[in-house]
Amino acid sequence: MVNSSSAAQPGASGESVGSAGRASEWNCPSCGRGFRTKTGLGVHRRRAHPVEANAEAAPSQVKRRWLDEELDLLARTEALLTLEASGPCTNVALAARLPQLHRTLEAIKGQRR
pTM of the predicted protein model: 0.45
Calculated CA dihedral for residues 71, 74, 77, 79, nearest 10 degrees? -70
Which one-letter DSSP state was computed for residue 11? T
66: confidence class by pLDDT, cuts 50, 70, 90: very high
Residue 98 has pLDDT above 70, yes or no: yes
CA quadruple 29, 35, 36, 38: dihedral positive or negative? negative
- The string of pLDDT tens digits covering residues 23-63 is 679 999 999 999 999 999 999 999 999 998 888 887 776 77
* Cα three-residue angle 23-56-27, rounded to 5 degrees: 10
Residue 89 has pLDDT above 90, yes or no: no
pLDDT at 10: 47
User: Which strand (E) or helix (H) includes residue 35?
Assistant: strand 34-35
The identity of residue 105, as a single letter, is L
Decide if 43 contacts 13 (C-beta within 8 A): yes
16: confidence class by pLDDT, cuts 50, 70, 90: very low
88: confidence class by pLDDT, cuts 50, 70, 90: confident
